[in-house]
Homo-oligomer: A and B are copies of this chain.
Amino acid sequence: MDKPGVPLQGAYTTKAVRELVGSWRLTHQTVALVPTMGNLHQGHLSLMEIAREHADRVVCSIFVNPTQFGVGEDFESYPRSLADDEALLAEQGLVDLVFAPDDKDIYPFGVEAAVRVSVPQLHGELCAAGRPGHFEGVSSVVLRLLGIVAPDVMVLGEKDYQQLVLLRRMVRDLQLPIKVVGGSIQRERDGLAMSSRNRYLSASERRTAPKLHGELKRVREALLDGEENLRALETEASRALRAAGFDPDYVEVRRAGDLSRPNGLESAGDNLIVLAAAWLGKARLIDNLRI
């Protein structure tokens, strides 16, 4: 691939980002934001490529957001690797600015007193069932990042598909003049969706992990073969995952547009998606596949 070789700049405060982005605005350059929690892998880099196609300047934010981790989740142990991330982005040459704020930049009044933003859509469903408060944390931090960077475009990975749907709704409902673009899932050679949390897997769990993708493919095949009993497909996939050593949170077939439940397959015009979340050892893996 031809690399434009953009020089990477770093900004570690809201003020520094505002100044730099403001200078771009003066010359009418457009800006894309890719919000991340760091520990960047090829999945993230593919989003930077998409961002580069959509705007003159690309900002990658790196912030491990405390408010989207629940009690007992992996906030403390979540991998932090800013120096490596910056080196990777500098080598890739697609990002103009890394914005790596600290908690005080994002939550100046502290986490407890922080203004909260919630999207009622899909409340308690899919990943929201097993991770109460998670998406409120996500929308609360992303709204802040959007306020600070004021991008024209935001690029989000489709692996976190529910997050993509909810943030797209947030942007539309709050009427922010920002285009939300999804980037497709990047996979290892054996089909496992790339994720920072894959490093929590032991060697034997790592060999098991691609079966999550495998089960989603089986569901897709069955649907394409005309199977109409969605509930049976979901149940069978959960059973197979459990047999393989997973502890599944859910396997569900939904409408791809808004993740609402389809009324069977009779409405053939529906664009469907199958989504799953399953624990494997200490890792909670998620994956999805468009039908």
Give me the interface of A with B, judged by CB distance under 8 Å.
Answer: 14, 18, 107-109, 112-121, 139, 143-144, 147-148, 169-170, 172-177
Q: Which residues of B contact A121 (CB under 8 A)?
A: 109, 113
Please give, as numbers and ranges, the residues of chain B lying within 8 Å of A107 by CB-CB distance. Answer: 173
Q: Are B114 and A115 touching (Cβ within 8 A)?
A: no
Give, as a whole number of angstroms, the nearest-CB distance from A150 to chain B.
8
In the complex, are the beta carbons of A143 and B14 less than 8 A apart? Answer: no
Is A115 within 8 A of B144, CB to CB?
no
15 more contacts with CB within 8 A, not counting A109-B172, A115-B120, A147-B174, are A14-B175, A18-B177, A109-B121, A109-B169, A109-B173, A112-B120, A113-B120, A113-B121, A114-B120, A115-B118, A116-B117, A116-B120, A117-B117, A118-B118, A148-B175
Complex CA distance for A23 and B121, rounded to whole angstroms: 35
Closest chain B CB from A33 CB (angstroms): 14
Q: How far is the CA of A117 from the CA of B173 in the complex (A)?
A: 12
Chain B positions within 8 Å of A117 at CB level: 115-117
A178: nearest chain-B partner, CB-CB: B147
Kindly state the separation between the CA atoms of A6 and B105 in the bound complex, as whole angstroms: 40
**Which of A107, A112, A114, A174 lies at the interface centre, i.e. has the most chain B CB atoms within 10 A of its CB?**
A174
Are B147 and A115 touching (Cβ within 8 A)?
no
- Most chain B C-beta atoms within 10 Å of own C-beta, residue among A113, A120, A175, A177: A175
Q: What are the residues of chain B within 8 A of A147 when measuring CB–CB?
A: 174-176
Knowing A117-B116, A118-B115, say if A173 contacts B108 (CB, 8 Å).
yes
Q: Which residues of B contact A109 (CB under 8 A)?
A: 121, 169, 172-173
Contact assessment for B139 and A173 in the assembled complex, using a CB-CB cutoff below 8 Å? no
Contact A144 B174 (CB under 8 A): yes
Alpha-carbon separation in the docked complex, A185 to B224 (Å)? 67
Residue of chain B at shortest CB distance from A117: B117
Q: How far is the CB of A29 from chain B (nearest CB, A)?
A: 16
Partner of A108 from the list B114, B115, B144, B172 (CB cut-off 8 Å) is B172
Give 9 nearest A-B pairs by CB, closest first: A115-B173, A116-B118, A115-B119, A109-B173, A115-B170, A147-B174, A147-B175, A117-B117, A113-B120
